């Protein structure tokens, strides 16, 4: 967090959207990073902890190093750690962010955790809901629930899932997760999943009514859904103009559906550290090009965001 006053140490972990527990998160977003500064000019900071193998290093060493970085992040006052999910991708071997959250929870006390994201079309939503409840207990209520519908076509192919159905699958899974967390007994026979819940959620959630949600929203349709459900959204590599446009659209929909127009934008930026500015820029150029090669098609699919990108 950047603030005008020194930051207190040893505090209980707050959600990066400013809440301390999910029972507060009706006011979510008050502490979230926003394009419009708060009166006290504070933002909350998270690290999107990438899992990247190094030459002459084992995967076990890579994960151990990553967990040590989480401990360091807590010591220097970072508010939250995010772990991504990828499958059969050698450059990003992280099939389960939830396992890393569980491991990191053992050696931390204050920093919050979020999966960025749990890809709902790839897993049964009852299992996702139960695992999250277990993580909520292991972290002592320091879990934010990041959800998404996936992006990479090779991953959908690997699971034998039709990517064109990912939105429908996401929506059905989200509804099931909410019902499981509400601890109601129900039978669900949906298009993609069947659930028969006839017993209490065990373990029960620590945060009430549930851990705060966070969604990855790269399209107008996803932004609209997040705003309608009053859920904070995150964006990858959006320019200031894009983020400003999307934040305005989000707030318009949010207000139209009766929600308080609070500021809530999680904006991700890559940082490359080198021996000098010149070296860092040169070494990061290839990586930046690779990232833009992944992100660029998103703008072509969604004309509104493409127009915003050209402002």
**CA distance linking residue 131 with residue 203, whole number of Å:** 9
So what's the pLDDT on residue 108?
A: 97
Tens-place pLDDT, residues 22-44 = 344 332 322 233 334 345 557 88
Joined tokens for residue 133: 């409840």
Q: Indicate if the alpha-carbon torsion angle 269, 270, 274, 276 is positive or negative.
A: negative
- Using 70 as the pLDDT threshold, list the residues of the chain that sit under it: 1-41, 288-311
| DSSP per-residue string spanning 236-248 | ES--HHHHHHHHH
So what's the pLDDT on residue 185?
A: 95
Tens-place pLDDT, residues 101-139 = 999 999 999 999 999 899 999 999 999 999 999 999 999
Q: Maximum CA pair distance of the chain?
A: 61
So what's the pLDDT on residue 5?
A: 29
| Contact predicate 128/120, CB 8 Å | yes
pTM of the model: 0.79
Domain 22-274 of CATH type 3.40.50.360: no
**CA distance linking residue 113 with residue 82, whole number of Å:** 6
Please report, for residues 4, 44, 146, 259, the alpha-carbon distance to residue 252 in angstroms, rounded to integers and kept in the order given. 31, 24, 23, 10
Instruction: Specify which residues 234 forms β-bridges with.
Output: 216, 266
Joined tokens for residue 272: 């490359």
């Amino acid at each position: 967090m950047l603030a005008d006053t020194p930051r207190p140490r040893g505090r209980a972990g707050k959600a990066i959207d400013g809440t301390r527990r999910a029972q507060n998160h009706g006011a979510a977003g008050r502490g979230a990073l926003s394009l419009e500064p708060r009166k006290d000019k504070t933002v909350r900071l998270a690290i999107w902890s990438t899992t990247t193998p190094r030459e002459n290093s084992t995967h076990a060493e890579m994960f151990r190093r990553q967990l040590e970085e989480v401990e360091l992040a807590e010591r220097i006052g970072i508010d939250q750690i995010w772990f991504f999910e990828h499958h059969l991708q050698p450059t990003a071997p992280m099939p389960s962010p939830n396992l890393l959250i569980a491991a990191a929870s053992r050696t931390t006390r204050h920093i919050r955790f979020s999966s960025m994201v749990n890809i709902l079309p790839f897993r049964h939503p009852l299992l996702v809901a139960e695992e999250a409840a277990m993580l909520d207990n292991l972290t002592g209520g320091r879990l934010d629930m990041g959800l998404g519908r996936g992006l990479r076509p090779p991953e959908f192919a690997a699971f034998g899932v039709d990517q064109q159905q990912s939105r429908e699958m996401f929506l059905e899974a989200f509804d099931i997760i909410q019902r499981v967390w509400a601890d109601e007994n129900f039978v669900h026979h949906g298009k993609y999943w069947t659930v028969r819940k006839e017993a209490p959620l065990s373990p029960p959630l620590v945060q009430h009514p549930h851990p705060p949600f966070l969604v990855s929203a790269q399209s107008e349709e996803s932004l609209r859904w997040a705003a309608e459900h009053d859920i904070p959204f995150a964006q990858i590599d959006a320019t200031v103009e894009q983020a400003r446009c999307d934040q305005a659209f989000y707030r318009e929909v949010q207000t139209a559906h009766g929600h308080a127009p609070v500021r809530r934008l999680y904006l991700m930026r890559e940082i490359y550290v080198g021996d000098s500015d010149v070296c860092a820029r040169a070494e990061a150029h290839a990586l930046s090009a690779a990232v833009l090669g992944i992100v660029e098609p998103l703008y072509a699919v969604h004309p509104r965001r493409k127009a915003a990108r050209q402002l």
